[in-house]
Each structure stands twice: as C-alpha cells, then as structure tokens.
Amino acid sequence: MNTKYKRVLLKLSGESLMGNEQFGISPEMLQSYAKEIKSLADQEVQIAIVIGGGNIYRGLQAKDSGIERVTGDYMGMLATCINGMALMSALESEGIYTRLVSAMDMKEIAEPYIRRKAIRHLEKGRVVIFCGGTGSPYFTTDSAAALRANEVGADVILKGTRVDGIYTADPEKDPSATKYENISFTQVIRDGLKVMDMTAFTLCQENNLPIVVFDIHKRGNLLQVVRGENIGTLVSNS
C-alpha cells in the first residue's frame, strides 16, 4: 500500500494515556495506541514518537507546589520517560521492535540520543520513542517533537488530540465553531489558534515541516492520515 508519508513523528499527550482514570496510565489506552501504531508499522512507515508526561506530572504545576520551575521541568521530563517505557512495552507486546531514546542520561532504561543512531533505527524499521524532552528545562514536549522531527528528517508531525482538527474556536465550548481542513502557519499565528507552543510552531514554520492535527482516539484515523486521506487539519506554509 502506498502512503503519503514515509517517515513520521507522532506526538501524543501524556494526559490522553489516562483514559477515564484520574491520573496514571490506562491499560486500555496503552493497548489502543499500540495497535494504531502497529497499523503504520505493518505498512513499513518509519515511526518516531514523542509522548508527554502530563498524566504523571507537568512542569508548569511547580509554581503552585513550591517546587522551582527548573526542578519541576526535570520532573516532567522524567514522567515522559515512564510513559515511554510503558509505550515501548505495549509495542513490543504487539511484536514491534522498539527503541527508547532519552535526552537525559539513564543508561539502565534508555539509549542516549545520538541523531545518526536514531535515524539508523528508523531505517531498520524500528519504532523510536524519544523521551526526556529536549533534555533542558523551559521547553515543552511540543518543542521536543518539533526538534526531533526536524533532526531525523520526518515528513510530517502527526499531533494526536481528542478533537478532530483545528477549529475557529474551542468546539467543546462553542458549538458554532467550524473546522479548518487546511490552514497556513501564518493564519494560525494571526488568529491565535492553539496548535503547539510558539517555540515548537515557529521551528516547524521555519523548516517547512507540516503538522496534521487529528483525533487519535478514533480507530483507524492514524493510518488514514498517513495514507493522505482528508482527516484532521493540515498546517503548512502553502
């Protein structure tokens, strides 16, 4: 089967791993993600993944807890490593060769990030999960996704969310909000639409890396996006 994108970076939020739980990792969501990702691997799509840590700890929570921002950000990075380990195990249970690659040194559980080695893993058909954010505080996992996607030469960032694209307003609050099929980086900035944080978004804009925002919870959507079907919203320079 032909696919529009050959090498993708999938950005998943940590919060979505909670499913219906109040915190932590839902086994059902974990297995659902693994099966969706397997559908791409079966088509020989090269897959890199960045997953957030908000289901365990968000660095931005630090200001309300007495923990300084830098320490809180590192705690959030560690949370992404926990999620990465869980997702790696779920993927391996589906028979998918997976490598967990960390921006921070933790050799007992993950490989250190080396760009050429990560690309080689992708070329060999292994799923690569990037954890630990960028390795530096003050950067979100959106920024980590944009950075790694550019570094490994991904064709697109696939941002899986709980809504089916980008709307003129929050569709969960405004029933009159309308969905964009395609939108430019310039318009997103002009209209103040929340796609990614500005650091990540600008990095994608400057390097002409498109973003597809789509509903990751609908079964089969991920494969349809990679096939080039009209799912979600495409953000690009054109």
pLDDT in tens, 173-203: 888 989 999 999 999 988 888 888 889 999 9
Residue 211, strand partner residues: 157, 235
- B/e letters for 109-120, b = 16+ CB within 10 Å, e = fewer, are ebeebeeeebbe
For residue 175, being part of any structural domain is answered with yes
Res. 136: pLDDT tops 90: yes
For residue 183, being part of any structural domain is answered with yes
CB 76 within 8 A of CB 57: yes
For residue 1, being part of any structural domain is answered with no
Give the mean model confidence (pLDDT) for residues 134-153.
Answer: 96
For residue 121, being part of any structural domain is answered with yes
Q: What is the pLDDT of residues 68-127, one digit of tens each?
A: 889 999 999 999 999 999 999 999 999 999 999 999 999 999 999 999 999 999 999 999
For residue 2, being part of any structural domain is answered with no
Q: What is the pLDDT of residues 22-61, one digit of tens each?
A: 889 999 999 999 999 999 999 999 999 999 999 998 755 6
Q: What is the CATH number of the domain that holds 12?
A: 3.40.1160.10
Smallest Cα–Cα separation from 10: which of 232, 237, 238? 232
For residue 104, being part of any structural domain is answered with yes
Contacts of 132 (CB under 8 A, 6+ apart): 77, 78, 80, 81, 102, 103, 104, 106, 110, 113
Residue 108: exposure state from Cβ atoms within 10 A (0-12, 13-18, ≥19): exposed
**Cut 0.85: pTM above it:** yes
Q: Is pLDDT larger for residue 61 or for residue 162?
A: 162
For residue 53, being part of any structural domain is answered with yes
For the chain, the average pLDDT equals 93
Looking at the structure of the chain, the number of domains it has is 1
Q: Which domain holds residue 43?
A: 7-236
For residue 66, being part of any structural domain is answered with yes
**What is the reported pLDDT for 171?**
82
